[in-house]
């Protein structure tokens, strides 16, 4: 253990860089869909599979990576993930058909998903090794800025890259960042302890619960197929999601080392509520990132780059908000602020029209920046304190999975509202749903006694 600061810049730098890759890749591709469609001579609607497969791969890979990190070491998992990103960037950059691009996005989704759960496990272990009784707020805050807040940065970055050098750069840009992150991690993150026991295929399958991972993948895939089928619901997909979910639950209750600890979710209701809050408010945030951006571009005739730049202040504000909240390890007050600001901003969206001055759109997105910053920091601190150290990897990955469910639900909402035409009326319908969702989140927060208990403990120890 190094003397001095246990969270030196060398230790945290590769974790932060690795954690930026997933959210940036999630949003950056949006600016490249039309050029890719033109290159492949297909419709733009067909290229949206490149968005979907990354969501799907990431939602499954996040908790899987966390489980692997807990069992075999976070450094090993982190480095393996970065190599997958490198391969995915090369494959997509040189891609000649949709199959190559889809495989590339799957590799990028899986690879980038290893960073956040591995980082959370590394940080938790480092904090406990030096006897820290409180969460390292500054480190967790910076990790959230890298891991969630940067999603909004992907839109203008993608716009600049596509306008300057073409759609392939949205894949190639992963290569230098992956190489830098890999070298930094290999040099500066301490090596994992030797793996206990024999590394046989049967042992690996038992330790990470491969049947549980498969069941989880089938459940999430079916649920996403249903969400993306809206406004024409695929009831078969929903039925399969329920069926696979029931089978998964029964299996996880039987095995000794479950992939998803169902008993934990049933008994640790505070953790379950944290996941639900995060999914609800993420739905609103991603509706702004994609719905408002689409409305700005289609209804107002703004370019993709211009629309991305209008959303960029949202990311800046959220980054400014995360720091002071995480530094003080606050939970309840930020969560209340996240829901209230989301209601206020959603009401603002309700009155947007094509003639609304740009300054008012910027003001609304900045308020959503407050929502994003308070949401991610409050919920992450809550998560950190609600699970044991040996569960933080899988729990953190599942936390991100719930975020992806929220983002996919937002895509379904946008698809329903703009099914026939991108219009002011459709945007107003979206706003009504966002108001209802954020009001539900506020109700959950205000009625959560465990959150009030956290606040009392904060005051007692401050």
DSSP category for residue 288: I
For helices 98-112 and 9-28, the axis angle rounded to 10 degrees is 150
Q: Is 114 helix (H, G, I), strand (E, B) or coil?
A: coil
Provide the token pair at 268: 């640790």
Separation CA 105–CA 86 (nearest Å) = 11
* Band of residue 44 on the pLDDT scale cut at 50, 70, 90: low
- 221-278 confidence digits (pLDDT tens): 898 888 878 778 899 999 999 999 999 999 999 888 888 888 878 888 889 999 999 9
Exposure string over 75-90, b if 16+ CB within 10 A, otherwise e: bbbbbbbbebbbbbbb
DSSP category for residue 292: I
Taking residues 409-423, report their average pLDDT.
82
Beta carbons within 8 Å of 6's beta carbon, 6+ residues apart = 126, 127, 129, 130, 132
The pLDDT of residue 119:
92
The pLDDT of residue 148:
67
The CA-based angle 370-372-375, given to 5 degrees, is: 100
Beta carbons within 8 Å of 43's beta carbon, 6+ residues apart = 37
Provide the token pair at 325: 């909240």
- 121-151 confidence digits (pLDDT tens): 999 999 888 888 788 888 888 887 777 667 7
Greater confidence, 307 or 51?
A: 51
The pLDDT of residue 457:
52
Q: Which residue has the tokens 């894949």?
A: 171
Separation CA 318–CA 180 (nearest Å) = 26
Instruction: Give the best-scoring range by mean pLDDT among 7-21, 127-141, 286-300.
Output: 7-21
Separation CA 259–CA 212 (nearest Å) = 6
**173, 161 in Cβ contact below 8 A?**
yes
Ranking 128-142, 182-196, 296-310, 417-431 by mean pLDDT, the lowest is: 296-310
Statement: residue 458 has pLDDT above 90: no
The pLDDT of residue 13:
92
* Band of residue 304 on the pLDDT scale cut at 50, 70, 90: low
322 CB-contact burial (10 Å; exposed 0-12 / middle 13-18 / buried 19+): buried
Whole-model pTM above 0.85?
Answer: no
Statement: residue 309 has pLDDT above 90: no
What is each CA distance from 204 to 125, 198, 291, in whole angstroms? 22, 9, 42
Statement: residue 166 has pLDDT above 80: yes
Q: Which helix (H) or strand (E) holds 249?
A: helix 235-254
Q: Which residue has the tokens 């040996």?
A: 390
**343, 187 in Cβ contact below 8 A?**
no
For 355-361, which contacts have Cβ atoms below 8 Å and span 24 or more sequence positions? Answer: 358/310, 361/292, 361/296, 361/310
Provide the token pair at 93: 């950059």
For helices 9-28 and 137-147, the axis angle rounded to 10 degrees is 30
The pLDDT of residue 128:
86
**Residue 416 neighbours by CB distance under 10 Å:** 15
Provide the token pair at 219: 């459940």
Q: Which residue has the tokens 């890749």?
A: 25
Separation CA 16–CA 14 (nearest Å) = 5
- 371-408 confidence digits (pLDDT tens): 998 998 899 888 988 888 888 888 888 898 898 888 88
Using left for φ > 0, alpha for ψ between -120 and 50, and beta otherwise, residue 18 falls in: alpha
Instruction: Give the best-scoring range by mean pLDDT among 52-56, 185-189, 208-212.
Output: 185-189
């Amino acid at each position: 253990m190094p003397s001095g600061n246990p969270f030196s810049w060398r230790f945290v730098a590769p974790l932060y860089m690795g954690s930026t890759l997933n959210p940036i890749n999630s949003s950056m591709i949006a600016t490249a869909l039309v050029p890719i469609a033109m290159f492949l001579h297909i419709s733009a609607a067909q290229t949206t599979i490149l968005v979907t497969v990354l969501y799907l791969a990431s939602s499954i890979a996040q908790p899987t990576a966390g489980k692997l990190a807990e069992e075999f070491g976070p450094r090993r998992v982190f480095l393996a993930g970065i190599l997958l990103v490198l391969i995915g960037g090369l494959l997509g950059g040189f891609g000649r058909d949709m199959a190559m691009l889809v495989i590339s996005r799957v590799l990028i989704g899986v690879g980038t998903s290893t960073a956040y759960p591995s980082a959370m496990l590394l940080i938790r272990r480092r904090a406990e090794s030096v006897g820290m009784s409180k969460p390292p707020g500054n480190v967790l805050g910076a990790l959230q800025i890298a891991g969630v807040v940067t999603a909004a940065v992907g839109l203008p970055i993608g716009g600049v890259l596509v306008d300057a050098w073409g759609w392939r750069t949205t894949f190639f840009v992963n290569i230098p960042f992956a190489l830098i992150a890999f070298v930094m991690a290999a040099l500066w993150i301490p090596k994992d302890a030797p793996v206990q026991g024999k590394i046989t295929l049967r042992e690996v399958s038992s330790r990470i619960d491969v049947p549980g991972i498969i069941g989880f993948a089938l459940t999430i895939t079916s649920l996403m197929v249903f969400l993306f089928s809206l406004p024409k619901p695929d009831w078969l997909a929903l039925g399969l999601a329920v069926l696979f979910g029931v089978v998964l639950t029964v299996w996880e209750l039987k095995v000794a080392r479950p992939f998803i600890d169902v008993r934990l979710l049933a008994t640790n209701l505070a953790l379950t509520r944290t996941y639900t809050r995060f999914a609800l408010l993420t739905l609103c945030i991603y509706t702004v990132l994609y719905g408002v951006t689409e409305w700005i571009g289609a209804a107002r005739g703004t370019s993709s780059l211009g629309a991305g730049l209008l959303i960029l202040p949202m990311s800046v504000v959220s980054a400014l908000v995360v720091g002071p909240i995480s530094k003080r390890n606050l939970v309840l007050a930020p969560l209340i602020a996240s829901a209230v600001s989301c209601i206020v901003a959603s009401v603002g969206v309700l009155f947007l029209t094509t003639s609304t001055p740009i300054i008012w759109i910027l003001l609304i997105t900045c308020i959503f920046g407050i929502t994003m910053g308070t949401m991610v920091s409050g919920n992450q601190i809550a998560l950190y304190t609600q699970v044991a150290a040996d569960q933080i990897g899988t729990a953190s990955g599942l936390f991100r999975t719930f975020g992806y469910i929220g983002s996919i639900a937002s895509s379904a909402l946008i698809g329903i509202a703009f099914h026939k035409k991108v219009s002011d009326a459709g945007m107003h319908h979206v706003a009504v749903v966002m108001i209802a969702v954020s009001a539900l989140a506020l109700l959950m927060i205000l009625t959560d006694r465990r959150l009030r208990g956290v606040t009392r403990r904060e005051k007692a120890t401050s």
